Chain A
Amino acid sequence: MTIDLVIRQTLQIALVVGAAPLLAGWIRQCRAWLANRVGAGLLQPYRELFKLLRKEPVVACGASWVFIATPYIAFATMAVAGAIVPMMTSRLPLAGAADVVALAGLFALARIFAALAAMDLGTPFGSMGARRTMLVGFLAEPALLMVLFTPALISGSTSLAIIVRQLARHGFILYPSMAFAAAAFVMVALAENARLPVDNPETHLELTMIHEALNLEYSGPHLALIEWAAAMKLFVYIGIGVALFLPWGIAQGRGLATLPVACALFAMKLAVGGAGLALIETLLAKLRLFRVPEFLGIAFLLAVLGLLVRYLVGH
């Protein structure tokens, strides 16, 4: 392993961990603008995280080690996932450690721990959140897999680095199959990240919340880690979307010289992705919980259509 690779990997992890709250702030700011509000500024998530990190940790009586370990596991899982996805460069030492299926597995690991931690205290809201999170998770999984199959078939591999390399090599052409897959991916990403229309990240309304119900009992630094992990998850998801559907501009070479340009391009893609997410969230209302299977069913069908188009048209 050369020093070049170590620098790349460290940079990437630092980027994911450091910039994830910025992306969250950007999305909130866009939503504020779309709603004709002034907004709290791009740096608001950092302020919130630092406020939480300074506080004294409070843990509920009767919590086991699962409850205390979960924030660290969630944070570590998302950071590792971020270390694997090619965002600015496809030459990452950790990229070979997990392909895109293993990445989905890492997210499932974090989800299972989050659900178990929510059930740890035996509060009714916690187990409700656990059950709903697992529900959305298992419904999203087949759709996600079908989305991933289209680029995997085009490039012949499920490794993200190979997919990026193969797709970027063909120049800027639009595969019809990838258009369907991209639409399905957006829907799955909304569900997996607990965004509208599946879940509203801004409310604590008892009967409708999904993701927030998991975090009800966390406070202080533990809550900070969980919020940070959620921001990183969204960041990584947009990163996967970029790698699959907009891989152009991701550096392929060995040197570090191409990195600044790739980094700027990636920031632009993220900004566009974030703004698009804000637009979706502004336009859509939250679905009832039992409409979520239909929503994810549509995502699944779109992904399957993408696969079929790939066979029939050959692109």
Chain B
Amino acid sequence: MHTPIGLPWELLLSAVVLWSVVALASLLIPHVPRMAPAIFPLGALGALLTAGAGVLALRGPPISTVSPLGLPGLPFHGRLDALSGLFLLLFGVTACAISLDLAGYRAREHYPVASRIGLQYHILLASLALVFVAADAYSFLIAWEVMALSSYFLVVTDHHTPVVRSAGFLYLLIAHVGALAILAAFAILAAHAPAGAPLALTFSALRATDPDPAVAGLVFILALIGFGAKAGLVPLHVWLPEAHPVAPSPISALLSSVLLKVGIYGLLRVAFTLLPAPAPWWGLITLAAGLGTALSGALLSAVQSDMKRLLAYSSIENIGLIVAGIGLALLFSAYGLKAFAALSLIAALYHCLNHAFFKGLLFLGTGSVLHATGERNLGRLGGLIHRMPQTAFLMLIGTLAIAGVPPLNGFVSEWLTLQAFLKATALPRPYLAMGIPLGAALTALVAGLAGYVIVKFYGIVFLGRPREAKLAQAVESGPFERAGLGLLAALCVVTGLWPAGVIALIRPAAQALTGGEAPVTAGDHGARIAVAHAGYAPPLLWLALGIIALVGVLVLRLRSSGPARRAPPWNCGHPVAGARLQDTAEGFGQPIRHIFAPFLDIKCRRPGLDDPEPRYEAAVNDRFWEGLYRPLARGFEAVFAGARVLRPRRIAISLLYVLAMLVALLALTP
């Protein structure tokens, strides 16, 4: 390196090089088992370097670079701006925790599996870092593809099971449908470059194309489809609840925390930096898609009984909330309300960070539970707070964070989103000013449902009594796992307690995208944030809560002589017999199935009157399978069955088709 490229780039590139070396070294694990313990901690070091690069990029001006790699005449362009920096920070910190967890998780695995995971995982990390800094369509798509493929191999780690293979196939399929849409978006934009200019591939050239509104709208829709497929927007979400549960838990955590955010990053990159000023309908479509996704995700997660599927649907819900925030930002931008657009974007980006932290925490914790018990079904767990006290405590932090209650981080982004919704009355169209605040009600409903879901999750897994005898053998997870959980839990607490600091980090990104200064002020030395004089000061709340609770404890403890007497549960006088009498996941979800029955596809089997072995079974299916995908597949099959008639039997006719096509194309070309 002769010319200085800036510290952030040096950090980032050293991380990428480190990961590449580690990935190759992973191949040698079966032959040199001694180095196995060093693989994942080194990956964590790379993640920290990336996070450092992200922070520096957020603080400094954008730095562009052209790498000597790439095709002749088509070098890779890179650019580290505030948006890249924010996502690198999110990615680096989360990946560090996940690498720590993997260091413990993989210590148990057989070497061939550990070697495969080490290889693919570090390639995935390197490609993720490159996706966030790529500044031309070509390198972006290459990094995107590497990311899709390496994550596919991670999803099918346990490839001996047919369910895993089919889930992996679905993941790969939808990832590629999305990639095609993204490719088309870039191609259409490049095709509208001013005449005479060289092929527009770099983002700055694409930005300069300035397409007319119809083309810009088309590009936006394609980007929404392409990046939405990656992020899990309804109806392109169906891969998510299949792929996330079958992957190893730390990989699920990475998929949910970071890979879904890549879709968000791409959408922001195209919508705000590549395209001209948005039209109002972009915002409306995005908002509607986001809210619809959030509601479907929340409802479906409430009726799941597999803990990883439940978390996967909850990820869909959170992505919906983030996309709704982006929709709001687009809508405000379309009407020139830049400050409010920046506020909405801060809310959405804050939620990106929050979701990465708490969902990573919950997925890693699920992995610990899965390892300790071998059980993913909520109906067979219970009482783990006694067997795994530290994991249970850390998971409780994640639970409260995702439930969106103060003083943890989930609440801050919810609060900001609601404040942004309240600003919608400034929109110049009456129907928008009246209609958009109703979206806030939907957001509140989704937040409430999220609380319901997570109480079900935590209460059934960690509280109550063990539902199976084998749970008595469960043991606390190892130190590496707890370190990973602890890091993410600490991040949930810090981002919850110090919102002013986090907003100061996000603000440059939101400002760069929208060109506005968000009306969020920090007061009381950063302890308090305020929008339109309405404040929220989590440290003060913590302090007040803590003092009052402490006074309560002291008063009651001083009066009592010893520890509380223990007695069997009262239970209204009914003897408590058998752990199976506790609520199962299905039982806890029953009110949701009852109330939202019209929105859910429920298969219910009730026992008959004279059934010798009465069993009640209820399964809830994703409506989009029967409603959209199967008809679509049947339609395709019908069309291609029809097209078979045209299939030539002889080579001469085949050649005739080619000739006809050629003539037709020549005739059509202007």
CB nearest neighbor in B for A290: B594
A121 touches B569 (CB 8 A): yes
Judge whether B383 is part of the interface by a CB distance below 8 angstroms: yes
Q: A158 → chain B, closest Cβ, in Å?
A: 4
Contact B535 A127 (CB under 8 A): no
Instruction: Confirm or deny: A217 has a beta carbon within 8 angstroms of a beta carbon on chain B.
Output: yes
Q: Contact: A131 with B400, CB < 8 Å?
A: no
Which residues on the B side are within 8 Å of A68 (C-beta)? 564
Mark contacts of A272-296 with chain B using CB atoms, 8 A cut-off: 1 yes-contact digit, 0 otherwise. 0000000000000000011001000
Interface size on A, residues (CB 8 A): 83
User: Would you call A216 and B400 a contact (CB within 8 A)?
Assistant: no
Give the chain A neighbours of B535 by CB distance below 8 A. Answer: 96-99, 159
Indicate which residue in A61, A71, A76 contacts B568 across the interface (CB closer than 8 Å). A61
Interface of A is mostly: helix
CB neighbours of B415 from chain A (8 A): 101-102, 105
Residue of A nearest to B452 (CB): A134
Of B400, B452, B537, the contact of A135 (CB 8 Å cutoff): B452
Bound complex: CA of A146 vs CA of B434, how far in Å?
Answer: 12
Choose one: A62, A66, A79, A112; the contact of B465 (CB below 8 Å).
A62
B455 and A75 contact, CB distance less than 8 A:
no
| Known pairs A94-B544, A98-B537, A145-B444; A58 contacts B553 (CB<8 A) | no
Segment at the A interface, from B50-58, B577-585, B651-659: B577-585
CB < 8 Å A-B pair total: 259
Give the docked Cα–Cα distance between A75 and B544 (Å): 12
Q: Does B69 contact A (CB under 8 A)?
A: no
On whether A64 and B545 interact (CB within 8 A), knowing A59-B566, A76-B552, A158-B422, the answer reads: no
Within 8 A of B (CB), among A139-184: 139-146, 149, 152-153, 156-159, 162
Other-chain residue from A56, A97, A132 in contact with B544 (beta carbon distance below 8 A): A97
B10-18, B403-411, B468-476, B662-670: which one contacts chain A? B403-411
Q: Is there an interface contact between A60 and B419, defined as CB atoms closer than 8 Å?
A: no
B1 interface contact, C-beta 8 A? no
Q: Which of A31-39, A40-48, A247-255, A300-308 contacts B (4 or more CB under 8 A)?
A: A300-308
Q: Is the CB of B548 within 8 A of A75?
A: yes
Whether B463 and A119, one on each chain, are in contact in the complex, defined by CB atoms closer than 8 angstroms, is yes
CA distance A153 to B451 in the complex (A): 27
Q: Check B422 against A153 for contact (C-beta < 8 Å).
A: yes
| Residues of chain B contacted by A308 (CB below 8 angstroms) | 434
Instruction: State whether B565 touches A105 (Cβ < 8 A).
Output: no
Known A135-B452, A300-B441; judge A108-B403 contact (CB<8 A).
yes
User: For the complex, is B638 an interface residue (Cβ under 8 Å from A)?
Assistant: no
Taking a contact as CB atoms under 8 Å apart, the answer to whether A127 and B528 are in contact is: no
Residues in B whose Cβ lies below 8 Å from that of A122: 382-383, 463-465, 576, 579, 582
Interface residues of B in 541-556 (CB under 8 A from A): 541, 544-546, 548-549, 552-553, 556
CA distance A182 to B559 in the complex (A): 43
Given contacts A138-B449, A159-B535, contact A221 B455 (CB under 8 A): no
Q: Which residues of B contact A53 (CB under 8 A)?
A: 556, 559
- Given known pairs A105-B404, A141-B448, A204-B572, the reply for A162 and B422 (CB within 8 Å) is no
- From B556, which residue of chain A is reached at the shortest CB distance? A221
Chain B positions 630-656 with a Cβ under 8 Å from a chain A Cβ? none
Determine if A216 and B571 form an interchain contact, defined as CB atoms under 8 angstroms apart.
yes
B391 to chain A: closest CB distance in Å?
A: 13
By beta carbon, the residue of chain A nearest B549 is: A76
Does B390 interact with chain A (Cβ within 8 Å)? no
Complex contact B448–A123 (CB within 8 A): no
Q: Identify which of residues 429-468 in chain B touch chain A, using a CB-to-CB cut-off of 8 Å.
A: 430, 433-434, 437-438, 440-442, 444-445, 447-449, 451-452, 455-456, 458-460, 463-465
- A131 — nearest CB in chain B belongs to which residue? B588
Q: Is A7 an interface residue (CB 8 A)?
A: no
B62 is an interface residue with CB less than 8 A from chain A: no
B583 touches A128 (CB 8 A): yes
Contact between B447 and A216, CB atoms less than 8 A apart? no
Closest chain B CB from A94 CB (angstroms)? 6
Expressed in whole angstroms, the Cα–Cα distance for A293 and B581 within the complex equals 27
Complex-state Cα separation, A32 to B473, whole angstroms:
55
Q: In the complex the two chains form, what is the Cα distance from A261 to B405 in whole Å?
A: 36
B660 interface hit (Cβ, 8 Å): no
Chain A residues whose C-beta falls within 8 Å of the C-beta of B411 in the assembled complex:
102, 105
**A221 vs B386: C-alpha distance in the bound complex, in angstroms?**
24
Chain A residues near B418 (CB, 8 Å)? 101, 145, 158
A72 pairs with B552, CB closer than 8 A: yes
Does the CB pair A206–B572 fall under 8 Å?
Answer: yes
A267 beta carbon closer than 8 Å to chain B: no
A138/B448 contact (C-beta < 8 A), A58-B564, A116-B458, A127-B464 known: yes
Complex: A99 Cα to B415 Cα, angstroms: 10
* B560 at the binding interface (Cβ < 8 Å): yes
- Are A138 and B445 closer than 8 Å at their CB atoms? yes
A140 nearest CB neighbor, chain B only: B448
**12 A-B residue pairings within 8 Å (CB atoms):** A57-B560, A61-B567, A96-B524, A101-B418, A101-B419, A105-B415, A106-B406, A124-B582, A131-B591, A134-B451, A158-B534, A300-B441
A sample of 16 more A-B contacts (CB under 8 A), given A98-B541, A124-B571, is: A58-B564, A59-B567, A62-B386, A76-B546, A96-B537, A98-B536, A119-B455, A119-B459, A122-B464, A122-B579, A124-B583, A144-B444, A157-B532, A159-B533, A221-B559, A307-B434
Task: Enumerate the 10 nearest inter-chain pairs by beta-carbon distance, A residue then B residue, closest first.
Answer: A138-B448, A122-B464, A119-B459, A127-B583, A122-B465, A99-B534, A76-B549, A141-B448, A57-B564, A109-B405
